[in-house]
Chains A and B, each alone.
Chain A
Amino acid sequence: MDQRRADPRGALVRPYAVTRGRTEPRQDIALEAVLTASPTQVAESRFAGHDKHRIATVCEGRAQSLAEIAAYTRMPLGVARVLVADMVAESLLTLHTAAPAEGFEERMELLGRVLSGLRRL
């Protein structure tokens, strides 16, 4: 927190201070991409800083999308995306596939599963 206040660039970039000013993620992560953290990953995230540890904790025991991570941690989406991409690269989070966009068969199978899931509600 002190680090944020000391940021000479002031209030305009303060939200990105937790990413040391980086606004581009290492890897593009969709809003609905799902992430999980195992107890080991949560424990290891303690050494990666407060914000990353909070993210890992949110994903422990329940798969969460990037959008949920941003909402639960109250981080702006862009900031959460940079940190989550870092954590995937650092093996602190496991990225699961978002909707498989390629291939007719895969897409139809997914849509079929979503449709029967809705009908069961």
Chain B
Amino acid sequence: MDFAGYDPAGGRPGRGIVSAKIVVAGGFGVGKTTLVGAISEITPLTTEALMTAAGVGIDDPSKVPGKETTTVAMDFGRITMAQDLILYLFGTPGQTRFWFMWDEIIRGAVGAAVLVDTRRITDAFAPLDYFENRKLPYVVALNRFDGAPQYELDEVREALAISPQVPLVMTDARHRDSVKQVLVTVVEHAMLRLQSEHGRGFPTPVG
């Protein structure tokens, strides 16, 4: 790869290559990594963050005796869109006790897709609550599992109390075109939100 505008001599910010990220959220086993893998140019990678197990859910883990480190894993993928533009897709850790990690993952993101499994629809309450209380634009995607109960989108919107402003789409996380459509919806929604907030004189949301 040839890095345009890239200064080989120094460590100054190159300003050459820009990246963006979209977050894929949802409960444990809902298909986040499958979704990322369906569209990523690389096999989804896992990065691990260490934390003290005793500190989970506690503000200051250093005050807790008997610390034990545990690892929080998050999966992510990559789409190189141009020589100077890379899109990353980050899956959130599924277990709710690791949600403090989400704040870091969503920081600066374009937007998020919250995946919902119709077999365990109540698992979606907690992730949806999380995004309702953040500024990040998000859409809800119903992941169609084989043999799972089929609901109308309206039924799901009502059951999960999803606000009318939040786009709700069906997807099959295994299929690239379907996943692509979810991501397009995320970006379009983010653009609309940005535009309407700009029109009302709100500052640019940064996640």
**A is bound by B:** yes
Residues of A at under 8 Å CB distance from B? 12, 15, 30-34, 36, 38-41, 61-63, 65, 67-68, 70-72, 76-79, 87-104, 107-108, 110-115, 117-121
Q: In whole Å, how far is B205's beta carbon from the nearest beta carbon of chain A?
A: 9
Residues of A within 8 A of B3 (CB): 36, 63
Residues of A within 8 A of B109 (CB): 99
Q: Do A99 and B108 contact each other (CB < 8 Å), given the known contacts A110-B18, A114-B81, A117-B81?
A: yes
Q: Which of A36, A67, A115 is in CB contact (< 8 Å) with B191?
A: A115
Residues of A within 8 A of B90 (CB): 31-32, 67
A-B contact pairs, 19 of them (CB 8 A): A31-B76, A31-B104, A32-B19, A32-B108, A36-B14, A36-B16, A38-B6, A76-B49, A91-B9, A94-B10, A96-B16, A96-B18, A97-B15, A98-B18, A101-B108, A104-B204, A118-B81, A118-B180, A118-B184
Q: Do A38 and B8 contact each other (CB < 8 Å), given the known contacts A32-B21, A96-B18, A99-B18?
A: yes
Q: Which of B9, B45, B50, B183 is in CB contact (< 8 Å) with A67?
A: B45
Q: How far is B90's CA from A36's CA once the two chains are assembled, in angstroms?
A: 21
Q: Do A87 and B194 contact each other (CB < 8 Å), given the known contacts A97-B18, A98-B19, A117-B85?
A: no
Q: Do A111 and B190 contact each other (CB < 8 Å), given the known contacts A36-B14, A118-B183?
A: yes
Whether B87 pairs with A117 at a CB distance below 8 angstroms is yes
Residues of B within 8 A of A91 (CB): 9-11
Residue of A nearest to B90 (CB): A31
Residue of A nearest to B3 (CB): A36
Q: In whole Å, how far is A54's beta carbon from the nearest beta carbon of chain B?
A: 15
Residues of B within 8 A of A103 (CB): 204
Residue-wise interface mask of B (84-112) relative to A, using a CB-CB cutoff of 8 A (1 in contact, 0 not): 01111010000000000000110111100
Residue of B nearest to A121 (CB): B180
Q: How far is B6's CA from A38's CA once the two chains are assembled, in angstroms?
A: 9
Residue of A nearest to B69 (CB): A12
Residue of A nearest to B39 (CB): A121
Q: Do A111 and B187 contact each other (CB < 8 Å), given the known contacts A91-B10, A97-B13?
A: yes
Top 5 A-B pairs ranked by shortest CB distance? Answer: A117-B81, A91-B11, A38-B8, A71-B45, A96-B17
